């Protein structure tokens, strides 16, 4: 049975996630340079006429879509457009490249992803369609998949770097306290520890702060993962983080209700809750994303709470760096004894 164009795009997305190998994904030349560009920056190769028309409008709506649950507008990606003839030399070594091209001889839209072609780590995605209408339709149908493809590539890079070059001392502390493997990036330090169920690590960057709070508690049943109970537990543990003034502490904003979705990471089900935090009795606040799951070895709920305080600097990359840490989690394989 012939695959549709959307099915081909989905196959590439799964390959990027490491779940399968797609026949449409190709390897590189073997001559590797360090990839250039910043995280979540994409070079888009496209004709000026297409860029100024409906194809460009559709691309911008996808790649510049605002990050959800942020208190300031920030795009999913930063993009730089180049004409196809300019895609050479140093530009070819960029970490993320998206090529948009029309070919009237193609029967239907198609997608090809190539990795580490001119540099490492690198992804080059080429989208081909027979005409403008076909490209717009294909982009619209695969909006989320295109975002996820570049997000997964960035995440995989971060996970690999964390495992190779992370803060090994903090990794050992996490293993000692929670019995799990987790890789913390360089530059982070332990900010606080409370009992045997709470660890706070963070990183101060100029006028911004990244925080990661790890905590665990006994699993009582499926109701633990209902939104109201996730919020209740979050407030219980983040309330241990002292604020800048006497009697102040972190809490979860309730005027914008946190959103909860249930996702799988390496096949394991997690609750991902996003919302806003504030400091009770003070004037600090910002976004948070909380991940919670069941540790099969202990039978306890394990949570990783990512939060950012950055009133001046962009928050997107700092928050995503924290989220990428969650993807390094590895639980023991042996469940707790009955």
Distance (Å, whole) CA 253 – CA 235? 10
pLDDT digits (tens, 9 = 90+) for 78-95: 999 999 999 999 999 999
- Which pLDDT band, with edges at 50, 70 and 90, does 33 fall under? confident
pTM attached to this predicted model:
0.90
Distance (Å, whole) CA 92 – CA 120? 11
Distance (Å, whole) CA 305 – CA 127? 37
C-alpha angle 22-154-52 in degrees, rounded to nearest 5: 85
* pLDDT above 50 for 20: no
322, 290 Cβ separation under 8 angstroms = no
Q: Considering the chain, what is the average pLDDT of its residues?
A: 90
pLDDT digits (tens, 9 = 90+) for 248-290: 899 999 989 999 999 999 999 999 999 999 998 888 999 999 9
With H, G, I as helix, E, B as strand and everything else as coil, classify residue 81. Answer: strand
C-alpha angle 119-8-31 in degrees, rounded to nearest 5: 15
pLDDT digits (tens, 9 = 90+) for 45-79: 999 999 999 999 999 999 999 999 998 999 999 99
Helix residue spans in the chain (DSSP H)? 5-16, 48-51, 54-63, 132-141, 143-165, 168-178, 227-238, 316-326
| Token representation of residue 25 | 């994904």
Domains of the chain are: 5-162 (3.30.379), 167-326 (3.40.1000.10)
Residue located via tokens 């149908």: 141
């Amino acid at each position: 049975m012939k695959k549709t164009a959307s099915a081909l795009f989905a196959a590439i997305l799964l390959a990027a996630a490491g779940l399968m190998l797609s026949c449409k994904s190709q390897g590189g030349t073997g001559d590797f340079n360090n990839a250039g560009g910043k995280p979540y920056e994409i070079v888009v190769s496209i004709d000026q006429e297409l860029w100024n028309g409906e194809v460009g409008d559709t691309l911008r709506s996808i790649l510049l879509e605002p990050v959800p649950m942020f208190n300031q507008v920030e795009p999913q990606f930063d993009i730089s457009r180049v004409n196809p003839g300019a895609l050479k030399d140093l530009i070819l070594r960029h970490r993320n490249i998206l090529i948009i091209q029309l070919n009237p001889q193609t029967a239907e839209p198609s997608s090809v992803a190539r990795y580490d072609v001119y540099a490492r780590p690198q992804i080059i995605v080429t989208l081909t369609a027979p005409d403008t209408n076909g490209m717009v339709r294909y982009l619209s149908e695969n909006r989320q998949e295109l975002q996820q493809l570049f997000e997964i590539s960035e995440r995989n890079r971060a996970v690999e770097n964390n495992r190779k070059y992370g803060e090994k001392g903090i990794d050992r502390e996490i293993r000692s306290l929670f019995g799990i493997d987790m890789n913390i990036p360089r530059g982070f330090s332990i900010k606080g520890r409370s009992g045997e169920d709470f660890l706070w690590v963070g990183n101060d960057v100029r006028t911004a702060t990244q925080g990661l709070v790890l905590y665990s508690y006994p699993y009582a049943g499926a109701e633990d993962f209902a939104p109201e109970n996730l919020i209740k537990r979050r407030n219980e543990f983040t309330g241990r983080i002292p604020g800048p003034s006497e009697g102040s502490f972190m809490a979860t904003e309730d005027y914008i209700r946190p959103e909860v979705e249930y996702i799988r990471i390496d096949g394991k089900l997690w609750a991902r809750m996003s919302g806003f935090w504030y400091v009770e009795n003070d004037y600090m606040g910002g976004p948070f994303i909380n991940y919670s799951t069941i540790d099969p070895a202990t039978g306890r709920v394990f949570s990783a709470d990512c939060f950012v305080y950055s009133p001046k600097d962009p928050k997107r990359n700092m928050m995503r760096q924290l989220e990428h840490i969650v993807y390094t989690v590895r639980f023991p394989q042996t469940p707790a004894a009955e």
